[in-house]
Amino acid sequence: MAASVFRDSPSSSRSGHTEVAQMNITPLVDVMLVLLVIFMVATPMVANRIDLRLQQTADRTNVLPPPDRVALRVDGNGAFHLDGVALDRAALPLALRDLMQVEPRTVVQITANADADYQEFAWALAEAQRNGVRNIAWE
């Protein structure tokens, strides 16, 4: 968009020249060239596809069911509850070991009461790891 305005002034009439006011389009051209370069560089990156070949399985009988989840809760008084069964410090490691011998993929989800001692929670977590629990979740 260009605009021109002709002005007659006393100085221009004497010299025979007229002043022309035009919009400077140089910054517009600069911006357009920068955008052109950006799009020229970015377009091949977007257009490329990744050739991905995934293994196809015809036999779906080998799909494992999701592992069982067992809740381990640490109470404020230092008691532990493994799936609702109250346990003390001596019985918890034995119960975890027995659980892992029956089903090693079991997920043990450890939660703590708001008034539970952090040491008890950390001890329960360490005992779970020490007794073979490989899948641990906590809240």
Does one domain contain both 73 and 42?
Answer: no
Cα distance between residue 75 and residue 80, in whole Å: 6
Between 113 and 9, the higher pLDDT residue = 113
- 85-115 confidence digits (pLDDT tens): 999 999 999 999 999 999 999 999 999 998 9
**What backbone phi and psi angles, to 5 degrees, belong to 116?**
-75, 150
Domain that holds residue 129: 69-138
pLDDT at position 24 over 90: no
Identify the band that residue 66 occupies on the pLDDT scale cut at 50, 70 and 90: confident
Does one domain contain both 130 and 73?
Answer: yes
Entry field: residues in the chain? 139
Does one domain contain both 33 and 74?
Answer: no
Quote the pLDDT of residue 96. 94
Does some domain include residue 9? Answer: no
pTM: 0.54
118-130 vs 91-102: helix axis angle to the nearest 10? 40
Does some domain include residue 104? Answer: yes
Does one domain contain both 33 and 94?
Answer: no
